[in-house]
Structure formats: structure tokens, C-alpha cells
Amino acid sequence: MPLSDLKLRFSKKELRNGPHTIRKEFPDLYKQSEHEPHMNYFYGFLGLIYDGINTIEDLKVKMRLIFISSTKQLVVEDQDVEEYLQSAKKKKLIIVENDGIIKLTKKGINLVELCYYINLHNTYWMKKVFSEKTVMFVTTLSLIVLSLLKIIIGFSLGSQGMINEGFENFTDIIKI
């Protein structure tokens, strides 16, 4: 099943609340010095395997595209992909069969699905926070606070210019 089909498994409530168990299920992948698993190329590597790209050569081609587009490196060596391969083997997330076919273990599948769930959760809240309505509300609220602050400071200092500027900012709110 491709990663894009996983979105259908989660309700709006689940996307809103988000996963709370990933640190408990995968404590070895959450070290202080590293980022969370879904925030790096390792997750992209496992996601490609999950999507059905299961030979080392195909993975190298796809990962090379990811590296070049995001790191702006023109030269990507096979070592870069081999590092992820060895790391995934060491963490027991993949199995390499005799004929060169790479498969995710149960732990690897769970990690990819949970990381995708985290990405869906983050996307849900980013859509809410960065919606036009929310941005306009925060902008209006900020203008009101700053205008009132200018007016209050203007009265306390006895500055007519500052008071006028505070009232001008209030008229800007009406324009918005």
C-alpha cells in the first residue's frame, strides 16, 4: 500500500490529537542528538521501500534525486545511500534477501506508518494556524494591542504625535 493511502485510515479527531506513543514504541530512534525520525532522509529512505521500491539500485536512483533537490549537492555518491542501508539493517528495520530485494520488517512498517501519521498531524495543524482567517485575526489583534499601547504611552508622555499615530493605526484596522 502506498503512503498516500494511509491518510484514509485516520479520522479528523485522530489527526487533531496526534500520536502520543511513538517515543514509547521506538525509544532507540529518539536520541537527544538526532532529529525525530520523520524529519530526515532516513524516513524518506524507509518510505521509498514502503512504497515498493525494493532493489538497491532503484533506491540509489530515487535517493539521489532527493539528495540533489534538497541538499543542492551535484555529486551524490553511493556511500550516502549505503549509510542508510547499513543503519536500517543495524536498527532491524529492513531485511535484505539473497536476491537483493529489500523488505521492511514489522518494526520498520510501524515506524514508517507512525512517522507518516506525525506528518499528517503536523500538516493538519499547519493548515489551521496558517489559514487566512487565523492570520487576519492575529494581525487585527496585534494592531489593536499596538494601537492601544501607542495611545496609552502617548497620554503618559503627553505626546500628541504618538496619540495621533495610535488613532491612525486604529483606522488601519478598519481598512483591514
* CA R_g for the chain: 25
What's the pLDDT score for residue 148?
92
Please, what are the averages of pLDDT over each run of 10 residues along the chain (176 residues)?
A: 72 75 61 54 86 87 76 68 87 89 90 83 88 90 91 92 89 76
**Number of continuous H segments (helices) and E segments (strands) in the chain:** 8, 2
Secondary structure (DSSP) of 81-121: HHHHHHHHHHTT-EEE-TTSBEEE-HHHHHHHHHHHHHHHH
- Full-model pTM: 0.69
Burial degree of 56 (CB within 10 A; 0-12, 13-18, 19+): middle
- What pLDDT is stored for residue 73 in this prediction? 62
Q: Which residues pair with 104 in a beta bridge?
A: 94
Query: What's the pLDDT score for residue 32?
Result: 43
Domain boundaries, the chain: 3-122, 132-175
Whole-number pLDDT of residue 82: 84
| DSSP 8-state code for residue 30 | -
Q: Which CATH class is domain 3-122?
A: mainly alpha
CA distances from residue 141 to 80, 145, 174 in whole angstroms, order as listed:
48, 6, 12
Quote the CA–CA distance of 141 and 148 in Å, as a whole number: 11
Cell of 171: 483606522
Instruction: Give residue 33's pLDDT.
Output: 47
